[in-house]
Chains A and B, each alone.
Chain A
Amino acid sequence: MNGLEMRGWLRADGRKGIRNVVAVGYLVECAHHVAREIVVPFRDRDVHVIGFPGCYPNDYAQSMMERLCTHPNVGAVLLVSLGCESFNKYALERVVRASGRPVKTIVIQAAGGTRKSIDEGRAFVAEQRALLDAAPTVPMAVSELVIGTVCGGSDGTSGITGNPAAGRAFDQFVAEGAACIFEETGELIGCEHIMAARAATPELGAELEASVAKAARYYATLGYGSFAAGNADGGLTTIEEKSMGAYAKSGASPISGLIKPGDIPPRGGLYLLDVVPDGEVRFGFPNINDNAEIAELIACGSHAVLFVTGRGSVVGSAISPVVKICANPETYRRMADDMDVDAGRILEGRASLDEVGREIHDRVVALGAGARTRSEELGHQEFILTYKSFEPIGPACLPAA
């Protein structure tokens, strides 16, 4: 495309990264400040803070941190522990080391407190940053990409412009052999039957329907749909209306599988990410905000995430670039600095869905050839991880495997 050649950093597991980030992971909120202070001198140098705030153990959080610290966009890892939290830092460090990445754990209580931990952390990051900056890249094909999509701050324009345009980009990527992941089963309520009809097998179709039924039950218990007050300000009236718009992000390709947070798509194709926990309702809302969903898409290996917004979200993410697609032309004019793609042109007759879909596709490919997103340039590195519980996916979820 446009003569742009993607290049990536080759990891020991064969995957390639389009970024070479040093991840600094805090393992309890009590270590968050130290982690944040460690990265201060490295602003704009791809040193990102991730972490888990809880002091109680959680298998989901453990596996999310493992997947994120061994994400292809990550080249080295620093873990920051207070010392007395329940997170299994030993297991996480072993997993990262086994992935071939440099890793160090600083235990604040052992290092002698805040100041000594910050100094020790900054020394490690500086050393790793220098090594990563000198690391060679290799050619990378579009078929090696994993791309996620999310919508947030949706309004009545999202389902007409930005989401279907993202769907066109997905169709192009799937045709080229890339893996594409769409999500938020709570925002597919009302679309479950038309979605199931696109499944690679009837058994997978039944799993897709069951995942939406689970989401509907979960949200009904909580008393709120996956619907924010701003959605209504923007003209969306019900969760099923929002769902019809959100569903358009999936494009028109057949659905190859259903995965859960941290599952890596085994090959190219289109996948639904089931983000709603299994079992009884515990720990509150499935995803307390958009960034929790973005973190899950990245934990599934997403090199980049397409984020469609109508009201005007400004977020980015740690680890992987977020491409912001603005569905509403009035919002775009007000917040152009935060937006990568102006999909509102479709509403004003200045571009077609196909044209904007190709533009989104090309923006993502350009990220592998040195381009950066608006949220990256602005320093957005939002990250959140909370408690959840999942059962492993069933055998019908990945029929081609």
Chain B
Amino acid sequence: MPAMTDNRLILLSEADNVLVARARIGAGEAIAVEGGTVRLAAPLSIGHKIARRPIGAGEKIVKYGAPIGSATEAITAGAHVHVHNVKSDYTPTYHLVGAEAEGAR
């Protein structure tokens, strides 16, 4: 784990461009990522990922040292990396992320 990264984030492989939360991190918190400081727009739940560095649109997302999908848009360092900005290179991901809020409208 390189210095200057919040210890609630773990780097699983040196080749990775994402970090994984091993504890919940609150929204608006200033956290160290690879020597820089980022502010989270929303709370980050345990097991979720943020970008370790800027990731270009179409670039592979790398976790465990292996590609796990492609970025569908440019992702800034420290931004949440998930179904809103990543797609599978195999089968599309079915999810209900955001569905509860839609139903409440």
Among B23, B63, B86, B91, point to the contact of A224 (Cβ < 8 A). B91
Contact status B63-A241, CB under 8 Å: yes
Q: Give the residues from 268 to 324 in chain A that come closer than 8 angstroms, CB to CB, to chain B.
A: 310
CB-CB under 8 A from A158, the residues of chain B are 47
Given contacts A237-B49, A330-B24, contact A159 B83 (CB under 8 A): no
A/B interface sample: 5 pairs, CB < 8 A: A189-B91, A190-B68, A227-B94, A235-B49, A239-B90
Cα A229 to Cα B98 with chains together (Å): 11
Please name the residue on chain A nearest to B24 by beta carbon: A330
Q: Give the residues from 179 to 228 in chain A that come closer than 8 angstroms, CB to CB, to chain B.
A: 189-191, 216, 219-220, 223-225, 227-228
Chain A CB within 8 A of B61 CB:
yes
Contact status B94-A224, CB under 8 Å: yes
Q: B72-105: contact bitstring with A at CB < 8 Å (1 yes, 0 no)? A: 0000000001110011111111111100000000
Chain B CB within 8 A of A234 CB:
yes
Given contacts A160-B20, A241-B63, A241-B68, contact A216 B49 (CB under 8 A): no
Contact status A240-B47, CB under 8 Å: no
Q: Give the residues from 212 to 262 in chain A that come closer than 8 angstroms, CB to CB, to chain B.
A: 216, 219-220, 223-225, 227-229, 231-241, 244-245
CB-CB under 8 A from B69, the residues of chain A are 237-238, 240-241
CB-CB under 8 A from B12, the residues of chain A are 160
Count class of interface residues, chain A: 35 or more
CB-CB under 8 A from B86, the residues of chain A are 237-238
Among A223, A224, A235, point to the contact of B48 (Cβ < 8 A). A235
Chain A CB within 8 A of B38 CB:
no
CB-CB under 8 A from A330, the residues of chain B are 24, 46
- Beyond contacts A227-B91, A234-B45: 18 other A-B pairs, Cβ-Cβ < 8 A, are A156-B20, A156-B47, A156-B48, A157-B46, A189-B91, A190-B67, A219-B91, A224-B91, A225-B93, A232-B96, A232-B97, A235-B21, A235-B46, A235-B48, A237-B49, A240-B69, A241-B68, A244-B66
Given contacts A237-B49, A240-B88, A310-B47, contact A190 B66 (CB under 8 A): yes
Contact status B10-A227, CB under 8 Å: no
Please name the residue on chain B nearest to A191 by beta carbon: B66
Cα A240 to Cα B70 with chains together (Å): 11
B58 to chain A, nearest CB (A): 15
Cα A244 to Cα B16 with chains together (Å): 13
Contact status B46-A232, CB under 8 Å: no
Cα A191 to Cα B97 with chains together (Å): 26
Residues of B within 8 A of A (CB): 10, 12, 20-24, 45-49, 61, 63-64, 66-69, 81-83, 86-97
Cβ-Cβ contact count across A and B, 8 Å cutoff: 117
Q: Which 7 A-B pairs have the closest CB atoms?
A: A156-B47, A232-B95, A235-B47, A238-B88, A235-B48, A241-B68, A225-B91
The prevalent SS among residues of B at the interface is loop
A217 to chain B, nearest CB (A): 11
Among A155, A157, A219, A240, point to the contact of B67 (Cβ < 8 A). A240
CB-CB under 8 A from A220, the residues of chain B are 90-91
Please name the residue on chain A nearest to B86 by beta carbon: A237
Among A227, A238, A310, A328, point to the contact of B68 (Cβ < 8 A). A238
Contact status B90-A232, CB under 8 Å: no
Cα A156 to Cα B9 with chains together (Å): 12
Please name the residue on chain B nearest to A242 by beta carbon: B68
Contact status A225-B49, CB under 8 Å: no
CB-CB under 8 A from B87, the residues of chain A are 238
Contact status B20-A238, CB under 8 Å: no
Q: Give the residues from 90 to 146 in chain A that come closer than 8 angstroms, CB to CB, to chain B.
A: none
CB-CB under 8 A from A328, the residues of chain B are 46-47
CB-CB under 8 A from B64, the residues of chain A are 159, 244-245
Contact status B96-A229, CB under 8 Å: yes
Among B24, B45, B93, point to the contact of A237 (Cβ < 8 A). B93
Please name the residue on chain A nearest to B88 by beta carbon: A238
